[in-house]
Amino acid sequence: MCLAVPALVLEKEGNIGKVDFGGSIREVDLSLVDAKVGDYVVVHAGFAIQRLDAEEARSTLELFRQILEKGQKTSPRARGKGKG
């Protein structure tokens, strides 16, 4: 399965940008989009593939947060039944 995730562009130097995935900072290739600092982009496999409206990006990041939170509460490890 492939997943593209919205991220906020924090810094840009040439075609490389530092982006924030809701708390996780990574470097991505921005050469496929016309993005500037402050823009939201959709990132797939290390490449920003499109710019995204800020409200839509925030909404999507909130949905991801909720999914991850729910997954942590329902996983066997979170219930004390998993190893490690």
Provide the token pair at 54.
């800020």
Count of residues in the chain? 84
Per-residue confidence (pLDDT) for residue 58, from 0 to 100: 86
Instruction: Please give the Cα distance from 3 to 16 (Å, whole number).
Output: 20
pTM above 0.85, yes or no: no
Q: How far is CA 56 from the centre of its chain?
A: 13
Q: Judge whether 42 lies within some domain.
A: yes
Contact 25/14 with Cβ under 8 angstroms?
no
Give the residue numbers spanning the domain of 32: 5-74
Q: Judge whether 81 lies within some domain.
A: no
* Domain harbouring 31, CATH code: 2.30.30.140
3-class SS shares of the chain: helix, strand, coil, % to 5: 25, 35, 40
Q: Judge whether 47 lies within some domain.
A: yes
Per-residue confidence (pLDDT) for residue 1, from 0 to 100: 65
Provide the token pair at 58.
């925030």
pLDDT tens, N- to C-terminus, the chain (84 residues): 677 889 999 999 999 999 998 888 999 999 999 999 999 999 999 999 999 999 998 898 888 889 888 888 776 665 566 555
Q: Judge whether 84 lies within some domain.
A: no
Q: Judge whether 32 lies within some domain.
A: yes
